[in-house]
Structure 1
Amino acid sequence: MQEDGEASSERQKRSSKRLLFLINCLMLSIGGSGGPLISRLYFLHGGHRVWLSSFLETGGFPICLIPIFISYIRCRLSRQPKPFVFIDARLFVSAFVIGVFTGLDDYLYAYGLARLPVSTSALIIATQLAFTAAFAFLLVRQKFTPFSINAVFLLTVGAGVLALHTSSDRPKGESTKQYVLGFVLTLAAAALYGFVLPLIELMYNNSKQRLTYTLVIQIQFVISFGATLFCTVGMIVNNDFKAMGREAREFGLGETKYYVILVFSAIMWQFFFVGAIGVIFCASSLLSGIIIALMLPVTEVLSVFFYKESFTSEKGISLGLSIWGFVSYFYGEYKLTQKNKQNNPTPQPDFTPTLANP
């Protein structure tokens, strides 16, 4: 009977881990496709404040207080109460430093999005996977298979195809210099966030505290706070707070929709960041990068559908290579799982990622 109880408890834990993983994948997917689209909507209808746009990418961090508060109440009301674990000073400092890097990345990405169509920006951001893979290998000793190496190569080449004809989809009224600068800064944003993801995983691995999902949300709160503080300084220097009222009155969709767009932008991007850091907790930084890149086709289709952006032959080739890369990665993971099952007959969880203890 005791063995049956332990087996049942183990199955319940695996189910909880799978559910947590899927929820974070869903948040990452929604934010990864919705965030760029709403941010671009701001720029398309008269928004010009790059620092404001970068601020919104992490400015929704107070949302994290909701699950933290719920977890705190559950601990207090539990029949077997256990102390609520707050983030310690060492982890706080590490998260805050990563937050500053994230704030810089927010600015680089926002500047590029202001100059590039969403579809082009999304394809450039796909190179992030190559940077994530490289830094994951250096920082956390990520293991690679021929399939994962092939996926990284294809995604990188796919994004590089865009550089061959960058002027084909340059927005009207924008100089070649501005377009190229947007292209370069978007690529820099991809590289920087490709560094941030494995850095978060390294922080997890070196943590002296036992990681729980509640603690992960606290870490995300601190990271977003650091990033938002960085962007707030930029907004103050650039007089963005003073200019918001005038920009709202002149906004193409009206003053009310201006503020609605700002609010939804902050919410969507917080979904993205919480999902990304959650997937790292559940699996790895490389898988988080894979899922971010996986949303590329969705963003491509939605941007062409909603914003009437052109879908050039270069984008078609790039998209095809990207999809090929996705298939290669997940086929490799499937083959690896099957091999592990043959070598180890012990029942395994029925999904590829290996989840951390919640």
Structure 2
Amino acid sequence: MGTTLVIINCIILAIGNCGGPLIMRLYFNNGGKRIWFSTFLETAGFPVIFLPLLVSYVHRRRSNNNEGGNSSFFLIKPRLLLAAALIGILSGFDNYLYAYGIAYLPVSTAALIIASQLAFIAIFSYFMVHHKFTPFTINAVVLLTVGAAVLGMHTETDKPVHETHKQYIIGFLVTVAAAVMYAFILPLVELAYQKAKQPMSYTLVLEVQLILCFLASLVSVVGMFIAGDFKALPKEARDFKLGETMFYVVAVFSAIIWQGFFLGAIGLIFCASSLVSGIMISVLLPITEVLAVIFYHEKFQAEKGLSLALSLWGFVSYFYGEIKAEKDKKRIQQETELTSLPRTISEC
């Protein structure tokens, strides 16, 4: 079941990680301008989480009828509830930074910048949940950081039409900030799991996702109210280049697809770790790159090629290091078992 759950979360994350930025850019490319509204759509699909939670509740209730177990709909306790709420608020602001960046950057550029978050995840994981650094991890951190920095060169040729150079630079810097902030959030979720003081299950992961996205959406709603989005959206829908109906279709699918990203990310933290979740996000980078070039005909200059190569090199370096460390761990364990075997036989 563990491997199956990992695969399912990887698939869900892949759909959200590749589809989310593309559909968000579709909104901006066709006349969309409301950044807080785009931020809201990143987490507004949280009600779909009620469906698997309902299935879990029905199954749990049937199992506990004869045992007198816990049949309440929610299993989450106050400690984990508070942690999920705080992380949700942080996520709301991080989503705004990301939406702001996507509004002014090509999807391919934004994806490469987000790839740098693996370096920051490694750093935050080291201090927050005590993941160990290896030479391969350090190499990956350096390569991914340099890869993101390379994108800062010759940015004028990459600038979307009708946007100023200033807007592009601000979008670039804001996306870097979003990457750093989300790199902090992922280990924070893992830390919350460790400090929950209750047995973690996938049902609890779903409940954390529900609370996290609800609070993030609440932050977005407040932002929409302050920015005047509620008054502006009806006109924006009518003026949408693809038509008013498509405006709402894009909004609904955006909410659903983005929900897959967040559920897959925190699901992988539960199944493995925040670092593995970050690695999976980086693995999907080339797919997002190719899809952006295919669907939006985005330019792929030498700087992007170099940045992509450095990012992939960084990922391979980290992944190779993890495989090598796992092999060394198994070898040491086998040697320890062989060493203790004669002693065990003599004692018998």
The TM-score bracket by the shorter chain reads over 0.9
Q: Tell me the residue number matched to 1:29.
A: 14
Residue 121 in structure 1 maps to residue 106 in structure 2: no
SS of the residue corresponding to residue 131 of structure 2 reads coil
Q: Tell me the residue number matched to 2:148.
A: 159
Structure 2: distance between partners of 1:130 and 1:323 = 13
Q: Tell me the residue number matched to 1:175.
A: 164
Aligned partner letter, 1:309: E
Structure 1: distance between partners of 2:13 and 2:2 = 16
Q: Tell me the residue number matched to 1:52.
A: 37
TM-score of the superposed pair, with normalisation by structure 2: 0.92
Q: Tell me the residue number matched to 1:8.
A: none
Residue 72 in structure 1 maps to residue 57 in structure 2: yes
2:120–2:141 Cα contact (<8 Å) kept = no
Q: Tell me the residue number matched to 2:314.
A: 325
TM superposition shift of 1:323: 1.3
Residue 61 in structure 1 maps to residue 46 in structure 2: yes
Q: Once structures 1 and 2 are overlaid, which stretch shifts more, 65-74 or 163-172?
A: 163-172
- Please list, as runs of the form range in 1=range in 2, the aligned pairs for 1:142-153 lying within 5 A after superposition: 142-153=131-142
| 1:211 maps to which of 197, 200, 211 | 200
TM superposition shift of 1:287: 1.0
Structure 1: distance between partners of 2:218 and 2:266 = 19
Structure 2: distance between partners of 1:329 and 1:29 = 20
Structure 2: distance between partners of 1:289 and 1:152 = 12
Structure 1: distance between partners of 2:229 and 2:55 = 35
Structure 2: distance between partners of 1:187 and 1:338 = 35
| 2:238 maps to which of 249, 260, 263 | 249
Structure 1: distance between partners of 2:84 and 2:10 = 22
TM superposition shift of 1:342: 1.7
Structure 2: distance between partners of 1:209 and 1:59 = 28
| 2:265 maps to which of 270, 276, 285 | 276
TM superposition shift of 1:59: 0.7
Q: Tell me the residue number matched to 2:183.
A: 194
Aligned partner letter, 2:219: F
TM superposition shift of 1:242: 2.0
Structure 1: distance between partners of 2:188 and 2:322 = 23
Q: Tell me the residue number matched to 1:9.
A: none
User: 1:215-262 CA deviation, whole Å, 9 max, x = no partner?
Assistant: 111011111011000000001111212222111111011111111111
Structure 2: distance between partners of 1:24 and 1:325 = 23
TM superposition shift of 1:345: 3.7
Q: Tell me the residue number matched to 1:93.
A: 82
TM-score of the superposed pair, with normalisation by structure 1: 0.90
Q: Tell me the residue number matched to 1:11.
A: none
| 1:286 maps to which of 271, 275, 278 | 275
Identity over aligned residues, as a percent?
A: 56
How many residue pairs are counted as aligned between the two chains?
331
| Uncovered stretches (5+) of structure 1, i.e. residues with no partner | 1-15, 347-358
Q: Tell me the residue number matched to 2:70.
A: 83
Q: Tell me the residue number matched to 2:342.
A: none
Aligned partner letter, 2:132: K
User: 1:79-121 CA deviation, whole Å, 9 max, x = no partner?
Assistant: 7654245211221111111101000001000011000000111
TM superposition shift of 1:328: 1.3
SS of the residue corresponding to residue 214 of structure 1 reads helix
Aligned partner letter, 1:78: S
Structure 2: distance between partners of 1:45 and 1:83 = 50
TM superposition shift of 1:276: 0.5
| Uncovered stretches (5+) of structure 2, i.e. residues with no partner | 336-348
TM superposition shift of 1:144: 2.0
| 1:221 maps to which of 210, 213, 218 | 210
TM superposition shift of 1:343: 2.0
